[in-house]
């Protein structure tokens, strides 16, 4: 059965991916608000000064971001493998895309968008 026959056109998959990305970025607003509510006295000086660099620094928890990037890379290693059914293969896994590249894109592009 063709992918188009199952309702899985590349357009619909792309649309679903864009929606998921938009949702992830939108959730960043709620996370930032929760961080502000937790300690407004820390955030208010940077907000009043409109110091976006300081705000970005305050919103960034390096250990959390590192863990997220590691989780993204692990998921790509699992779900991005080339799978051959019925063949015993002791060779190292082959990936459709480099897992570390996806983690890097996520860390350098997507996570910063969640804080803007």
List pLDDT tens digits, range 38-80.
999 999 999 999 999 999 999 999 999 999 999 999 999 999 9
73 burial (CB, 10 Å; 0-12 / 13-18 / 19+) is: buried
pLDDT (0 to 100) of residue 6: 55
Higher-pLDDT residue of 98, 3? 98
Question: Could you give the residue ranges of the DSSP H alpha helices within the chain?
Answer: 10-38, 40-48, 52-59, 62-79, 99-105, 111-115
| Residue 91 scores a pLDDT above 50 | yes
pTM tops 0.85: no
Tell me the average pLDDT of the chain: 87
pLDDT (0 to 100) of residue 2: 47
- What does the chain come to in residues? 116
3-state secondary structure 26-53: HHHHHHHHHHHHHCHHHHHHHHHCCCHH
User: What is the pLDDT averaged over residues 12-35?
Assistant: 87
């Amino acid at each position: 059965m063709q992918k188009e026959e199952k309702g899985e056109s590349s357009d619909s998959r792309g649309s679903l991916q864009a929606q998921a990305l938009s949702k992830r970025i939108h959730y960043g607003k709620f996370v930032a608000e929760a961080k502000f509510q937790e300690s407004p006295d820390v955030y208010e000086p940077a907000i009043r000064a409109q110091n976006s660099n300081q705000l970005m620094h305050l919103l960034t928890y390096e250990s959390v971001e590192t863990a997220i990037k590691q989780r993204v890379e692990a998921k790509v290693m699992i779900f991005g493998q080339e799978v051959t059914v019925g063949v015993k293969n002791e060779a190292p896994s082959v990936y459709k895309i480099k897992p570390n590249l996806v983690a890097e894109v996520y860390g350098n592009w997507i996570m910063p968008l969640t804080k803007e």
